[in-house]
Amino acid sequence: MHPATRHLPTTTWPTREQAAAAILFSSASLGPATTRTRTWVPAMVPWRASETGDVTPAVHAWYARFAQGLPGVLVVEATGIRDVPSGPLLRIGDDRYVPGLRELTSAVREASGGRTKLLVQLIDFLAIKRRPEPATFFRRHLAVTQEHRARLAELDPTLAGADDAVLRERMLALSASRLASVLAPRELDDLTRGYRERITDTHLPHIAALPRELPPLFAAAARRAEQAGFDGVELHYAHAYTMASFLSRLNTRTDGYGGALEHRARLAIEVFQGVRAAVSSRFVVGCRLLGDEVIDDGSRIDDAIHHSLALARAGIDFVSVSKGGKFEDAKEPKVGEAIYPYTGPSGHECMPTRKIDARGPFGRNLHLARAIRDALRAAGRVTPVVGAGGINSFELAEDALRTGACDFVASARQSLADPDWWRKMELGRGAEVRRCVFTNYCEALDQRHEQVTCQLWDRELDAPDPTSRDGAIARSHDGRRRLVPPAWDADEEPRRRPGPASL
Ligand SMILES: Cc1cc2nc3c(=O)[nH]c(=O)nc-3n(C[C@H](O)[C@H](O)[C@H](O)COP(=O)(O)O)c2cc1C
Ligand code: SF4
């Protein structure tokens, strides 16, 4: 670990009076809604949905527990807009999901006493396959081409007229460096990182049709979200997924939806317009996008400013700013595993740990939110901007708001470590906050698609579970981890937590 980030920075928590006077705990407009505070829990996938993408009791418990901390806004995890199998990720691609989601919104409303606005993040993603066994790739998946034949014949002239089956076996036997000269770059990528569809694969009819198909899919999903009782939706235009790929500088589509900046923003605007038209004027419609893709030749802050301004002009209710999290620079997965977009430099910027560098993760990405907000204000737009990335203290959050970096402060991992941290601050009991140590134990679980938990909860393995109706403490499959953070009683005498030096 970098010496400068070995310890968490010490911080001063506000008194109850200071919290009452803080911008952080003041109300704010979010499109047609008014939030109680400017505190925000951004989307986090906990891997608790059923295999069919339905809400489970564990999903209720997860979000009810966050709601008990009374954030101004809570965003439900990335939820798939299509009705296709996608493992234990929540889905909203059919009307049959509405009753389960309605129970979820009721559970959250009950847990927060109606004081938390609840959004759901709507996501579309393209097909991705696990990294194949080389034998399977060469014997079954690879289409043998004249280029392969010609390149192999340069290595061994007797292969010029050989059967495809012979060529497949020869390629299977080649060294990695030889293969790099025989396979096309995309084929090599499919072999070493697993097959992955791109939005630029316009030779595939369903990829060519994305601009036509996505607006109604997002619109129908948003309509269901409103029926289910959500206060709004966050359109997922960030990280490694379809909509972010359209916004990206890497988008070279030639059908009017790629290339020039305004063409890249076009689908994002059309999706927003389709959604806006499908829901009532009381319903919040915002988006999450990338301030910087952090990959070679990818989008930078100038692109993000353009897209944010275009969306603001179209009437978007908020822009939430994230960073990185791309497939392009992700680590090669092991054979049999799927590539995970948070393992390369861009992924490390998305969920920065204390190891990242001397600056550490704390408020690391706020400059991007600030640049976008400044540009919006200069253009006369009041669109709220949400900032995130290593926000773990009152000082950092309040400073971000006071200096105009953002209008809402989003905190994912600190809220995971301690969902009550917002309340503790508001009540002048910040000394009791269980402080996130930013070493990404939770993110490693996400990577393996295992139930996400926080390592700090297990220090109080037997403390009551405040979402449990029968007193049982929900545990992971192996029984060794808590699935829900320990209870915290706001009426109890204050308890002091161990100081940062002992973390
Ligand atoms: C376990 C986990 C799951 C996440 N899932 C999502 C997601 O579904 N959608 C999203 O936009 N961001 C997701 N994120 C990213 C967070 O919302 C947030 O942007 C990131 O963790 C940086 O903020 P932080 O430093 O406050 O944690 C996830 C993060 C974690 C740790
Ligand atoms: S597991 Fe680690 S990084 Fe994740 S929330 Fe807990 S303390 Fe923070």
Between the CA of 457 and the centroid of ligand 2 the distance, in Å, is 9
* CB contact set of 330 (below 8 Å; sequence gap of 6+): 193, 240, 339, 340, 341, 342, 343, 344, 346, 347
Between the CA of 77 and the centroid of ligand 1 the distance, in Å, is 9
DSSP per-residue string spanning 141-177: IPPP-HHHHHHHHHH-GGGTT--HHHHHHHHHHS-HH
Per-residue CA distances from 129 to 85, 155, 179, 451 (Å): 13, 31, 21, 21
Looking at the fold, whether 242 and 168 belong to one and the same domain comes out as no
Find the CATH number of the domain harbouring 448.
3.20.20.70
Residues with CB under 6 A from ligand 2: 413, 416-417, 436-442, 454-456
Q: Residue 226 has what pLDDT?
A: 98
pLDDT, mean of residues 203-213: 98
User: SS3 for 41?
Assistant: strand
Q: Residue 86 has what pLDDT?
A: 86
Residue 118 lies in a domain: yes
Between the CA of 454 and the centroid of ligand 2 the distance, in Å, is 5
**Contact status, residue 121 vs residue 234, Cβ threshold 8 Å:** yes
Confidence check: pLDDT of 5 > 80: no
Low-confidence winner among 21-25, 282-286, 498-502 (lowest mean pLDDT): 498-502
Residue 71 lies in a domain: yes
pLDDT, mean of residues 275-286: 98
Confidence check: pLDDT of 7 > 80: no
Looking at the fold, whether 237 and 356 belong to one and the same domain comes out as yes
Looking at the fold, whether 189 and 246 belong to one and the same domain comes out as no
Q: Residue 501 has what pLDDT?
A: 36
Looking at the fold, whether 237 and 142 belong to one and the same domain comes out as no
Residue 257 lies in a domain: yes
Q: Residue 2 has what pLDDT?
A: 53
Residue 405 lies in a domain: yes
Residue 198 lies in a domain: no
Q: What is the pLDDT of residues 88-115, one digit of tens each?
A: 899 999 999 999 999 999 999 999 999 9
Low-confidence winner among 272-281, 316-325, 420-429, 472-481 (lowest mean pLDDT): 472-481
Confidence of residue 22 (pLDDT cuts 50, 70, 90): very high
Looking at the fold, whether 166 and 75 belong to one and the same domain comes out as no
Residue type for 27, please? S
Looking at the fold, whether 18 and 160 belong to one and the same domain comes out as no
Confidence check: pLDDT of 74 > 60: yes
Residue 227 lies in a domain: yes
> How far is it, in rounded angstroms, from Cα 135 to Cα 178?
16
Q: What is the pLDDT of residues 29-73, one digit of tens each?
A: 999 999 999 999 999 999 999 999 999 999 999 999 999 999 999
Looking at the fold, whether 310 and 433 belong to one and the same domain comes out as yes
Residue 406 lies in a domain: yes
Quickly tell me which residue has 């911080």 as its tokens.
Answer: 11
Confidence check: pLDDT of 9 > 90: no
Ligand 1: residue of 45, 89, 421 to mutate (most ligand atoms within 8 A of CB) is: 45
Low-confidence winner among 198-202, 352-356, 497-501 (lowest mean pLDDT): 497-501
Closest-CA residue, ligand 1 atom 18, reads 412
Confidence check: pLDDT of 493 > 50: yes
Q: Residue 359 has what pLDDT?
A: 87
- The conformational region for residue 323 under phi > 0 = left, psi -120 to 50 = alpha, else beta, is beta
Domain count along the chain = 2
3-state secondary structure 428-492: CCHHHCCCCCCCCHHHHHHHCCCCCCCCCHHHHCCCCCCCCCCCCCCECCCCCCECCCCCCCCCC
- Look at the pTM and tell me if it is higher than 0.85: yes
Q: What is the pLDDT of residues 324-375, one digit of tens each?
A: 999 999 999 999 999 999 999 999 999 999 989 888 899 999 999 999 999 9
Looking at the fold, whether 383 and 434 belong to one and the same domain comes out as yes
Closest-CA residue, ligand 1 atom 15, reads 44
Looking at residue 118, the DSSP 8-state letter turns out to be E
Looking at the fold, whether 28 and 98 belong to one and the same domain comes out as yes
Q: Which domain holds residue 140?
A: 134-193
Last residue of a domain, one of 193, 220, 237: 193
- The first and second tokens of residue 351, run together, are 């969920």
Confidence check: pLDDT of 378 > 70: yes
Q: Residue 496 has what pLDDT?
A: 55
Q: What is the pLDDT of residues 214-230, one digit of tens each?
A: 999 999 999 999 999 99
What's the distance, Cα to Cα, between the start and end of the chain in Å?
Answer: 14
Confidence of residue 1 (pLDDT cuts 50, 70, 90): low
Looking at the fold, whether 240 and 187 belong to one and the same domain comes out as no
Name the percent of the chain lying above pLDDT 90. Answer: 86
Residue 494 lies in a domain: yes
> How far is it, in rounded angstroms, from Cα 258 to Cα 267?
9
Looking at the fold, whether 40 and 89 belong to one and the same domain comes out as yes
CA 173 to chain centre: 40
Looking at the fold, whether 148 and 291 belong to one and the same domain comes out as no
Confidence check: pLDDT of 502 > 60: no
